[in-house]
Structure 1
Amino acid sequence: MKNSAVPDLLSVRMLVGFLGEKSQYNWWPTSFIGPSSSLFLSPVFPRTTLLSQYHGILEAARRLHDERIGLGSVFHLFRLPEAYEHDLHSLISDGGYSLPLESFANKDSALAALEKISGGDAPPSEGPVKLGNAQEIMTAGAIRSISCCYAAAFSEGIYSYPYFVS
């Protein structure tokens, strides 16, 4: 892992992935992170349960974001440049990341964790929101901006899709 921002971006991805699931804000119709999914997945994937949950929310969220933002020369939290995707996958598959259970206890604790990463309030913006260029994705400022967009959207009950252009 070359970039120190990778764990922060992975945390944001997991928090937004959890918050978007049907039991929280219902942005996508999945329940990959939670007590029942762990019970279901652990017998099938005993050593890779977290990785299975990660890929489940990644695919569900990616589909929705791709539909709303489009494909091409754009990147979003769930579709990043290949090198970044590799770094995120390596971190979670090598056991360098674990779910902070207190943050994933319920939607309020997950939203509070996301708001803490965002570092402040942002006015909610509905729909696709351009945040900058792809070269900026792995910066602390970009990670805060992404967090702010999602935290505001979840709080206000709207859909927001922050993205970057290449």
Structure 2
Amino acid sequence: MRATQLETLAKIRAAVGYLGERDHFAWWQSAFFSAASRTFLAPIFAKTQLLAQVTGVTQAAARIHDERIGVGQVYHLFRLPEPTEQAIHRLLMDAKLSAEITFLTNDKDVALQFLRQHAEPAPVTGMGPTRLGNATDLAKPKTWRSVVNHYLHGFEQSAQIFPYFVEVP
């Protein structure tokens, strides 16, 4: 996966994670991006606050996704192949990307607009766990536009949707 694609993926993860928190659409009960959490985390994680927030929301969202989808041979926005996870982790330490993600996760409307800009305009059917393809599709930019479209549809329709991909032997 190219660096620009990984940066976009990190932003998508942060935006969806932020919107899914209890202060917004409440798909998971975390509040890592709330004002109170920012105040609490700032002195503890002075240089890595955003990394802590994204890691926290990723774990909270992954738990809900795993409960709905299951684990083993399955990938979703919050549980990706290990090399991709490590690359995203490294990218989150970049000051420019951190500033962009901080901007995205400060306002619900900004995060929703970001998702609208990165969504593939296509009809979405169904709710809950939704298989979008195989693990080999994860490297394709079009795949992530479809994933964004599903989350955006879920947020706008108040219907939880959990897009996922399976590892095919």
Shorter-chain TM band:
over 0.9
Deviation at residue 2 of structure 1 after TM alignment = 4.9
8 Å contact 1:124–1:156 — kept in the other structure? no
Give the alignment of 1:38-53 within 5 angstroms. Answer: 38-53=38-53
8 Å contact 1:41–1:49 — kept in the other structure? yes
CA distance in 2, matches of 1:62, 1:81: 13
**Residues 10, 122 of structure 1: alpha-carbon distance in 2 compared, 3 angstrom cutoff:** farther
CA distance in 2, matches of 1:133, 1:22: 30
For 1:71, the equivalent position in structure 2 comes to 71
SS of the equivalent of 1:55 reads helix
Number of aligned positions between the proteins: 166
CA distance in 1, matches of 2:124, 2:163: 13
For 1:135, the equivalent position in structure 2 comes to 136
For 1:61, the equivalent position in structure 2 comes to 61
Question: Structure 1-normalised TM-score?
Answer: 0.92
SS of the equivalent of 1:93 reads coil
SS of the equivalent of 1:28 reads coil
CA distance in 2, matches of 1:20, 1:41: 20
Q: Deviations along 1:97-134, whole A, 9 cap, x unmatched?
A: 21435433332221121111114253253011111111
8 Å contact 1:5–1:139 — kept in the other structure? no
Q: Deviations along 1:125-151, whole A, 9 cap, x unmatched?
A: 301111111121122101101100000
1:159 aligns with 2:160: yes
For 1:84, the equivalent position in structure 2 comes to 84
> Structure 1 counterpart of 2:110, which letter?
S
For 2:127, the equivalent position in structure 1 comes to 126
**Residues 44, 9 of structure 1: alpha-carbon distance in 2 compared, 3 angstrom cutoff:** same
8 Å contact 1:137–1:143 — kept in the other structure? yes
Unaligned residue ranges in structure 1 (runs of 5+): none
CA distance in 1, matches of 2:154, 2:125: 6
Greater helix share, structure number: 2
For 1:112, the equivalent position in structure 2 comes to 113
SS of the equivalent of 1:155 reads helix
